[in-house]
Chain A
Amino acid sequence: MAALRVLVGVKRVIDYAVKVRPAPGGGAPGDLPRPLRVQTQGVKHSLNPFCEIALEEAVRLKEKGAASEVIAVSVGTKASQETLRTALAVGADRAVLLEVGEGQAVGPREVATALAALAGRLQPQLLLLGKQAIDDDCNQTGQMLAAMLDWPQGTFASRLELESGAVLVEREVDGGLEKLRLRLPAVLTADLRLNEPRYATLPNIMKAKKKPLEVIPAAELGGTPPDPPRLKILKLEEPPARGGGQKVQDVPALLEGLKQAGRI
């Protein structure tokens, strides 16, 4: 078996099926400040779907004998341990939580910084991430990480194949499919058609409880000290409620209605 260590980044996000709402607090205008967060208390969370795909690919590499170890890593609060246990149940060998405080703003730049520092410690040959998280849809972490590490990157991967010392990546780009050969170590981000992730089974969930999960405060990782966050949320609100439709009798009535609504 090749001595290839794979690091997989996973993120705990609000489950895709949940109807997201602004957090309570913030009543009439001029009252308390409007909420700048969404409701996360008591809301179902799960592993980001694109991270699942990345994890599945890593586990398949190990099953094929192309990789020797799969380490799942997450940058998040204590609650992310749950997500890492799921990753262990799917087939990761061990997990690392880079812990941040509750309410601490953690965007792609902060995550990439932390992962880069961890990569320095663990020396993986392959870094697999999901292409984006479904809560912020940033699609930036993988790219920033590659830049910080000065590693080649293969983003939107829909197929990958390991060769000796390199990885063959097929990427989904606007014009079609692009094939790249990247020297290892490299950063790859997984797109939808890379694979169909497996479901964790009960025996594996039980085994996962015994697999090692290390918690390291992100601030202690060393490397570049964290800069203050550069993004500030100015406003957060629900989209306007959908109004009822109106049937009109004929074209003049339609034009009249559009004029009244200020559309023409």
Chain B
Amino acid sequence: MALRRVLGLGAALGRRSFCSKQPLPPDFVEALRAVVGAPNVSTATAVREQHGHDESMHDCAPPDAVVWPQAVEQVQELAALCHRCRVPMVPFGTGTGLEGGVNAVQGGVCFDLSRMDAITELSLEDFSVVVEPGVTRKALNKHLRGTGLWFPVDPGADASLCGMAATGASGTNAVRYGTMRPNVLNLRVVLPDGRLLHTAGPGRQPRWAPGGARKGRDGTGRDGCPPAPRSPPSRRKRAAGYDLTSLFVGSEGTLGFLTQATLRLHPLPEAVAVTTAAFPSVRAAVACTVQVLQAAVPVARIEFLDEVMVEACSRFSKLELPAAATLLLELHGSRRGLAEQQQQTEEIVQLNGGSSLAWAKQLEEREQLWAMRHSAWYAALALRPGCQGYSTDVCVPISRLPDVVVETKQDLQDSGITGPMVGHVGDGNFHCIIVFNTQDPAEARRVHAFTERLGRRALAAGGTCTGEHGVGLGKRALLREELGQEGLDTLRSIKTALDPHNLMNPGKVL
């Protein structure tokens, strides 16, 4: 509660005021049951609370009801029903977001889409696959085992792929393979009024039969209907009309339900090598990153950890890394190409005063190093048990990265805040995992002031207030500053055009 007040979240820009909650119309829950069946509707307190928060610090805001549609036609019927009765709708995937995207601040119905979990239309020649919201990224990669392909976007959590599309997620591999945006080829969206939209054009889909028949995991119709004769388009290039796919990627559930995504797959690298490199200073580590990129080494992952983070991670994961500004690098390539990349990287690291490199090639060693990095959140929390964590997420142009990181570190020290830094420096994106006592108002104020300064520092350097976590509940004021009045007005026009009654995830983004 303290943090929310302290962060001074202002009013939403929709029709309703921020916290206004209308009760559900009478017989509404019965109507929901009529569409999906009684077992797929819940108003139980525990279930609603479970669906009212994600991994962020924002207070739990439970919806009035939770539904589990089993097919897109059900999503359409439910959306049309909510639209008719002017009931807010909140899409829910895995609840692993970091900005309060699923918190139902105006109540309404939470659509838990996890039971729609078909993986279909896998094309090894087109390098594409079609997934529904219940498919997580780890489940997809396990499914792809043996095909030689993988889906590289990895935001750490085992998130729903459609949820990742909705938040425009990114991860450690973005520097080489891109974020979600370039890797989503088509989206099947249910609009707030129940209409179905394919952002890059439709392919035919199997019909849903009443009685709740579901598609099998491999796409064969369990309801007796034959599978789609033509797969949804997964063309790489198109110059046909406005780019609707890109519009819905990152829309955070405010424009419609992403009920299916066509994803671009990539070939698995033939050879992989990972190493850590310790540097005498933060500036040296970040400068090394910039130089590695400028030398056009096609680095797959390049992550920065400051000395506080390294010490926390080492202790947490029981490794023994020196407590210094560290880079964690991964290279992908063919066997010979990899050797060349390794040599280039070594030279640049030496040039910046880095330690000598010990390359890990075995899968177990590589996994160990990345597990250490991925547990950064928990390692940071372990620094001050009993406190809560808050992750900042700014992204600046590479040329400004050394200055911004050094200034931010100084600011952390001056403000007396525990905030180990970890970052995808290859993209100019870094996170301060601020660990603080929410019950201490003075500390909470210092943290709030720090995050505001950081956001503005990033904007002043020509960057963005959120590189990958999204705007959600907490960054709407910064979004205003980043885009300016014209930008915000344009966003509002689009929102009003698609969702005139502000029913889709109200209170977020705008």
Binding between chains A and B: yes
Residues of A within 8 A of B147 (CB): 200, 205
Beyond known contacts A17-B217, A200-B145: 19 more, CB 8 A cutoff: A17-B139, A17-B143, A18-B217, A42-B216, A43-B218, A44-B143, A44-B217, A46-B145, A47-B146, A89-B146, A196-B363, A197-B363, A198-B363, A199-B146, A201-B270, A202-B148, A202-B267, A202-B268, A203-B334
B411 within 8 A of A: no
Q: Counting CB contacts under 8 A, is B142 at the interface?
A: yes
**Is the C-beta of B430 less than 8 angstroms from some C-beta in chain A?**
no
**CB of A195 within 8 Å of the partner chain:** yes
Within 8 A of B (CB), among A189-223: 195-205
B146, B147, B217, B268 interface centre (most CB from chain A within 10 Å): B146
Name the B residues within 8 Å of A17 (CB-CB): 139, 142-143, 217
Cα-based distance from A151 to B360 in the complex (angstroms):
37
Q: Bound complex: CA of A204 vs CA of B335, how far in Å? A: 13
Are A199 and B220 interface neighbours, CB within 8 A? Answer: no
- Judged by a CB distance under 8 angstroms, whether B486 is at the interface is no
Instruction: Please name the 8 residue pairs, one residue from A and one from B, whose CB atoms are nearest each other, closest first.
Output: A202-B148, A196-B363, A42-B220, A202-B267, A201-B268, A205-B148, A86-B146, A196-B364
Residues on A with beta carbons closer than 8 Å to the beta carbon of B363:
195-198
A43: chain B residues at CB < 8 Å are 216-218
Binary interface encoding of chain B residues 139-153 relative to chain A, with 1 for a CB under 8 A from any of its CBs, else 0:
100110111111000
Check if A89 sits within 8 Å of B148, measured CB to CB. Answer: yes
Residue of A nearest to B141 (CB): A199
Partner of A201, one of B217, B220, B267: B267
A200-B220 in contact (CB<8A): no
What is the total number of residues of chain A having a CB less than 8 Å from a CB of chain B?
A: 20
Looking at chain A's contact residues, the main secondary structure is: loop
> A46 vs B220: C-alpha distance in the bound complex, in angstroms?
17
Sample of 30 A–B contacts (CB below 8 Å): A17-B142, A17-B143, A17-B217, A42-B216, A43-B217, A47-B146, A86-B146, A89-B146, A89-B148, A195-B363, A195-B364, A196-B363, A196-B367, A197-B363, A199-B145, A199-B148, A199-B268, A200-B148, A201-B267, A201-B268, A201-B269, A201-B270, A202-B148, A202-B149, A202-B267, A203-B270, A203-B334, A204-B148, A204-B270, A205-B147
A46: chain B residues within 8 A (beta carbon): 145-146
Query: Bound complex: CA of A203 vs CA of B147, how far in Å?
Result: 11
Chain B contributes a number of interface residues (CB within 8 A of A) equal to 21
Whole-angstrom distance between the alpha carbons of A240 and B137 in the complex?
31
Q: Is the interface of B mostly helix, strand, loop or mixed?
A: loop
Residues of A that sit less than 8 Å from B by CB: 17-18, 42-44, 46-47, 86, 89, 195-205
Smallest CB separation, B177 vs chain A (Å)? 15
Contacts of B364 in A (CB 8 A): 195-196
Chain B, 125-159, CB within 8 A of any chain A CB:
139, 142-143, 145-150
Q: In the assembly, what is the distance between CA of A201 and CA of B145, in Å?
A: 9
CB distance from A191 to the nearest CB of B (A): 15
In the complex, chain B residues whose CB is within 8 Å of the CB of A89: 146, 148
Nearest B-chain residue to A193, judged by Cβ: B364
Q: Which residues of B contact A195 (CB under 8 A)?
A: 363-364
Q: In whole angstroms, what is the CA distance A44 to B268 when docked?
A: 21
Check if B218 sits within 8 Å of A44, measured CB to CB: yes
Inter-chain contacts of A44 with B (CB < 8 A): 143, 217-218
Chain A residues, CB < 8 A from B143: 17, 44
Which A residues are in CB contact (< 8 Å) with B267? Answer: 201-202
A86 to B146, CA, bound (A): 6
Contacts of A204 in B (CB 8 A): 148, 270
Residues of A within 8 A of B139 (CB): 17
Within 8 A of A (CB), among B187-225: 216-218, 220
Assess whether B142 is in contact with A201, with CB atoms less than 8 Å apart: no
Complex CA distance for A86 and B145, rounded to whole angstroms: 10
Residues of A within 8 A of B268 (CB): 199-202
Q: How distant is the Cα of A54 from the Cα of B148 in the complex, in angstroms?
A: 20
**Which residues of B sit under 8 angstroms from A203, Cβ to Cβ?**
270, 334
Interface string of B352-376 (1 = CB under 8 A from A): 0000000000011001000000000
How distant is the Cα of A195 from the Cα of B270 in the complex, in angstroms? 19
Residue of A nearest to B334 (CB): A203
